[in-house]
Structure 1
């Protein structure tokens, strides 16, 4: 971690992305937001555009992306909002995106993701959530390393989740070939991977002036939950009960608006209050403390383990090779 004490900011769980970026001038900065055609990705892109950044919406559905870009341009008056195709589960698509990128990249928000999907494998045999949430973003970010280094102070932001508390990265069975498939444990593993990636990228790329952080956006009702019917939610609640302890009541869950959900992403992407901070995990616009038993907040020790972070990096390189 770059800081010895837990970092707080002037913002909190109620802050919106617009409030976090108010007064910040990102003119001349170039940003990429993956999954920017829906949910908190839209609000993240909108906030960065409002601050003057040139924003690329990296999306699978370019028709939806172009409609979103038009709405953002209209709302912000910033004409420098463009769309580029990106399918994180397709290594060729990731290569095409990175090959097409020219010049420096100041902000990369790895926002796209899926949650608790049915058992699905990519053509490479990778479990879909691990492939989408981690491997695709790993491939994208490492391919764009030169552009990030050229920016002199670039920021990489990875959207994780408190779901990471449910599982470390299980290196012996990443793709659920040996154990029964559990959509929530698969999701949890991929979200732990997001944090571990930030830890290792922060270590490896410090001399390049690149910071890397991960975050929990909060509970937000978006289409990320499209796979979560009654049975899946019952399974999720059972996992949470195991996490906090069978003899403890579950903490009350609160939900944020989409604008509030994007706030921590925007903080890490553009706020001067976190300048130079790297290798951290944030929630509610502040650096999270260690996870405490009986709670659903904080960061798990397994997500900050430097040995696991290095192992994940090497494992990801081997898979993508």
Structure 2
């Protein structure tokens, strides 16, 4: 079977507002994690601008309420909700999913941490893997019924070109033996985001649910607070830096565009499907083949389920 690479009229400079132009999501419900600042706040704003009911799932609900008010004032859409969610705490996720009522049409797994100092959850999970992958995995699986209940639904996994820093190291996911490296841990967690989209689509496509991974680009937000000068693991050429509006564009495309109807298990950057790579390419470009590997995606899904089951 021939698989067609998805291309769109949008590109590096397109903004989330550009991508959502003319799209009407009135009557649809969206959930954005980490929506109290940065890319998450911009994604929530643009989705609200399409008429969707938007829930901001955040750790800091006071900050979330401030952003929700700003979004309501800017868009005129008052159908905004703020709910507490700590992706590093399985109890918080369980409480959130248990409290959810009604359908869900768009889930944007946006929240994350980058290159943070060595830290582990109460379960012994490495912090970046736990927050960036396991938390979103638990959220999505916990909301599967809501996603499947009312026609087509989309899940967006916000990944990064940083996934090229590391595949999943199956024998030592949580750095129990190898020396902790914040960038290898970040890379592994971002690979996991892509693999999640691959397997979620395989498992859930018959339920009308598709999932895609996206690379926002180099955007300076609070995500970089643990990196030198907020500039990541290396210097990014000035011409590759995006605004927050440009950075949110690919996630909004994956969440809303008719061009991606029925499309899942892919990785998008600059609003287009990325080239599959067998070795590192140009900065911020392409997706590593191992991040799209179906066998790896199935293995990660099963491992993630086991970890959460053991956590009780």
Structure 2-normalised TM-score?
Answer: 0.95
| CA distance in 1: counterparts of 2:230 and 2:207, whole angstroms | 46
Alignment pair present for 1:295 and 2:268: no
Question: Contact conserved, 1:3 with 1:277, CA < 8 A, in 2?
Answer: no
The equivalent of 1:264 in structure 2 is 250
CA distance in 2, matches of 1:313, 1:113: 19
Count of residue pairs the alignment pairs up = 307
Secondary structure of 2:56's partner? strand
Matched, 1:111 2:99: no
Matched residue, 2:225: 226
Cα 1:142–1:3 change in 2 (3 A) is farther
User: Does the 8 A contact of 1:37 with 1:59 survive in 2?
Assistant: yes
Query: How much does 1:5 deviate?
Result: 2.0
Paired position in structure 2 for 1:283 = 269
- Does structure 2 retain, via aligned residues, the 8 Å contact 1:195–1:304? yes
Report the Cα distance in structure 2 between the residues aligned to 1:3 and 1:81, rounded to whole angstroms.
Answer: 41
Q: Distance in 2 between matches of 1:226 and 1:293?
A: 26
Give RMSD over aligned pairs: 1.7
Q: 1:293 to 1:119 in 2, by over 3 A?
A: closer
Task: List gaps (5 residues or longer) in structure 2.
Answer: none
Once residues 5 and 146 of structure 1 are traced to their aligned partners in structure 2, the CA distance between those partners, rounded to angstroms, is 30
1:62 aligns with 2:49: no
In the TM superposition, residue 17 of structure 1 has moved relative to its aligned partner by 0.6
Query: How many Å apart are 1:230 and its aligned residue?
Result: 5.8
Does residue 73 (structure 1) correspond to residue 60 (structure 2)? The answer is no
1:131 aligns with: 130
Q: For 1:1-321, list aligned pairs within 5 A.
A: 4-229=3-228, 236-237=233-234, 254-291=240-277, 293-296=280-283, 297-321=285-309
CA distance in 1: counterparts of 2:19 and 2:167, whole angstroms: 31
Structure 1 residue 171 displacement after superposition: 1.1
- Report deviation, 1:231: 11
Measure the CA separation in 2 of the matches of 1:30 and 1:123: 33
Closer, same or farther: CA 206–301 of 1 in aligned 2, 3 Å: same
What is the TM-score with the length of structure 1 in the denominator?
A: 0.93
SS where residue 276 of structure 2 aligns?
coil
CA offsets per residue over residues 114-166 of structure 1, 9 Å max, x none?
00000000111100000000000000000000000002100000000000011
Instruction: Provide the secondary structure at the position in 2 that maps to 1:256.
Output: coil
> Within 1, Cα distance between the matches of 2:25 and 2:244?
22
| C-alpha distance in structure 2 between counterparts of 1:69 and 1:62, whole Å | 10
Structure 1 residues 76, 232: closer, same or farther in 2, change over 3 A?
A: closer
Alpha-carbon contact 1:218-1:283 (below 8 Å) kept: yes
Question: Match of 1:211, SS?
Answer: strand
User: Which is further off, 286-295 or 62-71?
Assistant: 286-295
Asked if structure 2 preserves the Cα contact closer than 8 Å seen for 1:251 and 1:295, the reply is no
Q: Deviations over 1:251-307 (max 9, x none)?
A: 886100000000000001111121111110000000111125442310101101111
Structure 2 CA distance for aligned equivalents of residues 210 and 232 of structure 1: 35
Select between 294-303 and 145-154 the one with higher mean Cα deviation.
Answer: 294-303
SS at match of 1:278: coil
Change in 2 beyond 3 A, CA 1:274/1:47 = same
Instruction: Find the aligned partners of 1:168 and 1:190 in 2 and give their Cα distance.
Output: 9
Shift of 1:3: 7.1
